[in-house]
Copies of this chain bind each other. A is one copy, B any other.
Amino acid sequence: MITEKAAAIIERVREENPLVHCITNYITINDCANILLSAGASPAMCDALDEAYDFARISSALYINFGTYIKEQEAAAMAAALGAKSAGRPIVIDPVGCAAIPRRIGILDRLHELAGVSIIKGNMGEIMALAGKKAEVKGVDSDGAVPGIEETAAETAKKYGCVVAATGKIDVISDGRRTARVSNGVPMLTKITGSGCMTGALCAAAAAMARDGDEMFAAAAAAVSLMGIAGEKAAVKANLPGSFRTALIDAVYGITGKILRGMGRIECEEM
């Protein structure tokens, strides 16, 4: 059911080529643009302060990522968020590093206050940090589970009135009412920079295709599963990180709704 919705959403991305406005870090900005193109979306990385408000208004979704957050990006993100809000566009935020840099929780809160947010995508440590909890990050690596992550994701989703996607070995997605677990992916995704950022960018493309608030939950699952499947396919081609990164962009290009229906491992339950 949720897999079917997720597949339909990624098909719509390819059909409608949504314009995704990204204000994202300069480490993986190229990867984010290329993964969006591979998925069928149309990326535009517009972070000039004078342009961000208007550009967000003509885009289909806004993606804000805090990876390298220089002052102008910080200001542009606020302007863009207001633009997206005024045009009714979904906003996806990746609060990169907020577990280590608490100031970024404040930045997320400010954006949320100004404009609301549709999806928050972070790794488990970041999502725990948003709820004021500390994750044993080594625990994430070893057994793939952070104790309490499902409850925390649900809590955080309720607090911000949005969908929360907490990525890890098994990704957890919550809208405060339902929880989905996505078990796609491979360890090699942690050996390159940008896997998380690209997942966030794909969340924005998927969010642009969500027809209502209810579909936002499936949109997050679609993006997270798409990235995981791409990782699985890339790992078949390449077992070293430079080649794997190239194979990942290649893989997304070929993933259709049908493939997601076949390979997606998304489980969903009401809480």
Enumerate chain A interface residues (CB-CB to B < 8 A): 25-31, 33-34, 37-38, 43-51, 54-55, 58, 67-72, 74, 97, 100-101, 103, 191-194, 240-243, 245-250, 253-254
Give the shortest distance, in Å, between A247 (CB) and chain B (any CB). 7
* 5 contacting pairs across A/B (C-beta < 8 A): A27-B45, A30-B30, A34-B193, A48-B70, A242-B246
Supposing A26-B29, A103-B50, A254-B240 touch, asked if A245 and B45 sit within 8 A by C-beta, the answer is: no
The CA of A101 and the CA of B103, in the complex, are separated in Å by 32
Supposing A33-B27, A242-B247 touch, asked if A43 and B191 sit within 8 A by C-beta, the answer is: no
- Do A68 and B48 touch (CB < 8 A)? yes
Give the shortest distance, in Å, between A73 (CB) and chain B (any CB). 8
Residues in B with CB closer than 8 Å to A31 are: 30
Closest residue to A248 on the B side, CB-wise?
Answer: B242
Chain A interface, DSSP helix/strand/loop, else mixed = helix
Supposing A68-B48, A101-B46 touch, asked if A194 and B30 sit within 8 A by C-beta, the answer is: yes
Residues in B with CB closer than 8 Å to A69 are: 48, 51
- Do B33 and A103 touch (CB < 8 A)? no
Sort A-B residue pairs by CB-CB distance and give the 3 closest, nearest first.
A242-B249, A240-B250, A33-B193
Give the shortest distance, in Å, between A37 (CB) and chain B (any CB). 6
- Do B245 and A44 touch (CB < 8 A)? no
The CA of A54 and the CA of B46, in the complex, are separated in Å by 28
Identify 10 new A-B residue pairs, CB closer than 8 A, beyond the known A33-B193, A240-B250.
A25-B45, A27-B45, A28-B33, A34-B245, A37-B193, A47-B70, A48-B74, A242-B247, A242-B253, A243-B246
- Do B37 and A241 touch (CB < 8 A)? yes
Residues in B with CB closer than 8 Å to A250 are: 240-243
The CA of A245 and the CA of B37, in the complex, are separated in Å by 13
- Do A67 and B45 touch (CB < 8 A)? yes
- Do B70 and A192 touch (CB < 8 A)? no
Give the shortest distance, in Å, between A1 (CB) and chain B (any CB). 31
Contact of A38 (CB < 8 Å), options: B54, B191, B246: B191
- Do B30 and A48 touch (CB < 8 A)? no
- Do B49 and A192 touch (CB < 8 A)? no
Give the shortest distance, in Å, between A255 (CB) and chain B (any CB). 11
The CA of A247 and the CA of B242, in the complex, are separated in Å by 6
- Do A103 and B51 touch (CB < 8 A)? yes
Residues in B with CB closer than 8 Å to A34 are: 192-193, 241-242, 245
